[in-house]
Amino acid sequence: MIRRHLSVGGGSDRRNHGFKTEKGRLVSLKMASGIQCAFYVFILMNATVLISTSAQVVIAAPVLIGDDCTSPKPPDLSDCTIEHAECIGGKCLCIKDYTSSDGRDKCLPERVYGNCTFQRDCELIGNSFCYSGKCLCDNGYVADDDSKHCIPGKLETTCSGKSDCYKIPHSDCTNSTCTCEADYEPAADNAHCIPEKVDGGCTGNDDCKLVFNSVCNSGKCSCDKDYAAADDSKHCIPDRVYGNCTFQRDCELIGNSICYSGKCSCDNGYVADDGSKHCIPEKVNGECIGNDDCELIGNSVCTSGKCSCDKDYVAANDSKHCIPGDYFSFSIIIVYRSDKRKLHRLR
Ligand SMILES: *[C@@H]1O[C@H](CO)[C@@H](O)[C@H](O)[C@H]1NC(C)=O
Ligand SMILES: *[C@@H]1O[C@H](CO)[C@@H](O)[C@H](O)[C@H]1NC(C)=O
Ligand SMILES: *[C@@H]1O[C@H](CO)[C@@H](O)[C@H](O)[C@H]1NC(C)=O
Ligand SMILES: *[C@@H]1O[C@H](CO)[C@@H](O)[C@H](O)[C@H]1NC(C)=O
């Protein structure tokens, strides 16, 4: 859009612009604001003008976006001829959803799916390409919330800041690519990150599949009923005796139990406590954490991690109880004899 009208007026008569046509009249009207160039050609011989001629070229200044315009209708008579622009209120302006290019000589689509002719028409949108006359997002990119830009829609896509990655939940811009945050892993679709810890963010139960035995509850992966977070918070493991287990470590919350036939079962010598939450010893010297664990034995306390009989108690024959132990009692009887006479007599 550099030269919209080019007219050449020939001949030596400079008053004659040679504009006879209707179009010529328009150009002539624009001459005040247009760029006017005049050329004079002299062919000299021995300092004598042999032939002289002149030419005048009028390059009408193109009407750019934001410039004044006239003749809004019909469109082919308007001097606001930029595609996707209209002469509105005497100004040449881009229509809705189009924005002026930096050079003001084009109206570029400002929305994904906007009309384009060339690849460069999509430059405002970014990460997009012109396909079938529409600006479409590049592979791995999606339209942002207001459909103005294409931003990463898949992990490992180039980004310049965290805000670029907001279409990929729980990701951050690391090393210029959208990468899952700490404690999150890529989901199968590579378009979001799912938690690998209890209480991580989710939108559906599927997002909680890395956290075994959890469900998505109020946007967080929460342990199912009868399950609780393991020590490392990476899984939910049974918090009840006979809860389902896969590995021995799944029974860590219960203690003194083994994963047997898919259930956390109490070790030999241990039984479920009242709330069925732990396996507690049924014998003296069984492992304990607190005195409560020794409740079945009676008259015992948890000492150095083992149920030991209270002072003055000993383990019963079957080791299941503590019973009062044997004790020696000494009675020292001192008879002070004061009757010397009797003593004497006794002697
Ligand atoms: C975009 O292109 C379509 C199909 O060519 C056309 O119908 C529509 O009017 C165009 N939209 C604009 C804003 O130019
Ligand atoms: C970032 O890239 C550097 C060099 O390529 C690499 O050493 C580093 O581990 C990367 N960091 C992350 C968090 O991926
Ligand atoms: C435990 O496993 C059984 C059999 O696989 C299953 O039916 C049951 O729902 C599981 N219980 C829990 C609390 O997950
Ligand atoms: C100890 O146990 C044995 C058999 O196990 C039993 O015969 C004996 O009577 C028990 N002794 C006491 C004091 O309970």
**pLDDT tens profile 224-247:** 999 999 999 999 999 999 999 999
Q: Sorting pLDDT into bands at 50, 70 and 90, what band is 46? A: confident
What does the pLDDT look like over 250-298, one tens digit per residue?
Answer: 999 999 999 999 999 999 999 999 889 999 999 999 999 999 999 999 9
pLDDT at 153 over 90: yes
Nearest CA-CA partner of 191 in 156, 148, 237, 240? 156
Top mutation candidate among 82, 107, 112, 115 for ligand 1, by most atoms within 8 Å of CB: 115
Distance of alpha carbon 122 from alpha carbon 141, whole angstroms: 14
225 CA: nearest ligand 3 atom: 13
Distance of alpha carbon 10 from alpha carbon 21, whole angstroms: 16
What does the pLDDT look like over 207-217, one tens digit per residue?
Answer: 999 999 999 99
pLDDT at 341 over 60: no
Distance of alpha carbon 66 from alpha carbon 91, whole angstroms: 6
Stretch 71-79: mean pLDDT, rounded?
A: 67
How does DSSP classify residue 16?
-
pLDDT at 22 over 80: no
Partner residues linked to 263 by β-bridges: 244, 260
Please tell me the number of Cα atoms within 13 Å of 7 on its side-chain side: 24
pLDDT at 61 over 90: no
Evaluate: CB of 84 within 6 angstroms of ligand 1: yes
Evaluate: CB of 175 within 6 angstroms of ligand 2: yes
Residue 336's pLDDT is: 54
Evaluate: CB of 174 within 6 angstroms of ligand 2: yes
Stretch 148-168: mean pLDDT, rounded?
A: 94
What does the pLDDT look like over 83-137, one tens digit per residue?
Answer: 899 888 889 999 999 999 989 999 999 999 999 999 999 999 999 999 999 999 9
Instruction: From residue 232, give the alpha-carbon distance in Å to each of 119, 221, 228, 259, 279.
Output: 51, 15, 11, 19, 21
Q: In whole angstroms, what separates CA 130 from the centre of its chain? A: 28
Ligand 2 centroid to 176 CA: how many Å?
10
Q: Sorting pLDDT into bands at 50, 70 and 90, what band is 73? A: low
Q: Give, using CA atoms, the residue closest to atom 6 of ligand 3.
A: 244
Q: What is the pTM of this model?
A: 0.64
Q: Give, using CA atoms, the residue closest to atom 10 of ligand 2.
A: 175
Ligand having the closest approach to the CA of 134? 1
Top mutation candidate among 175, 178, 179, 184 for ligand 2, by most atoms within 8 Å of CB: 175
Ligand having the closest approach to the CA of 176? 2
Quick one: the chain helix, strand, coil %, rounded to 5?
A: 10, 35, 55
Q: In terms of DSSP bridges, do strands 306-309 and 313-315 run parallel, antiparallel, or are they unpaired?
A: unpaired
Ligand 3 centroid to 213 CA: how many Å?
10
- For ligand 3, which residues put their CB under 6 angstroms from it? 226, 244
pLDDT at 7 over 90: no
Note the residue count of the chain: 347
What does the pLDDT look like over 302-339, one tens digit per residue?
Answer: 999 999 999 999 999 899 999 997 655 444 555 555 55
- Transcribe 138-150 into DSSP letters: PTTEEE-TTSSSE
Phi first, then psi: give them for residue 234, nearest 5 degrees. Answer: -90, -20
Ligand 4 centroid to 306 CA: how many Å?
24
Q: Give, using CA atoms, the residue closest to atom 9 of ligand 3.
A: 244
Contacts of 89 (CB under 8 A, 6+ apart): none
Q: Is residue 90 within 8 Å of 105, Cβ to Cβ?
A: no
pLDDT at 39 over 60: no
Residue 287's pLDDT is: 94
Q: In whole angstroms, what separates CA 75 from the centre of its chain? A: 48
Q: Structure tokens of 92?
A: 């040449």
Q: Give, using CA atoms, the residue closest to atom 13 of ligand 2.
A: 174
Phi first, then psi: give them for residue 343, nearest 5 degrees. Answer: -60, -50
At residue 271, what is the residue type?
A: V
Residue 228's pLDDT is: 96
At residue 188, what is the residue type?
A: A
How does DSSP classify residue 63?
P
Q: Is residue 303 within 8 Å of 310, Cβ to Cβ?
A: no
Instruction: From residue 193, give the alpha-carbon distance in Å to each of 93, 202, 223, 246.
Output: 43, 9, 19, 25
Q: Give, using CA atoms, the residue closest to atom 3 of ligand 3.
A: 244
Secondary structure of residue 13 in the 3-state scheme: coil
Residue 345's pLDDT is: 43
pLDDT at 12 over 70: no
Residue identified by tokens 């007599």 is 345
What does the pLDDT look like over 182-201, one tens digit per residue?
Answer: 999 999 999 999 999 999 99
Residue identified by tokens 């160039």 is 37
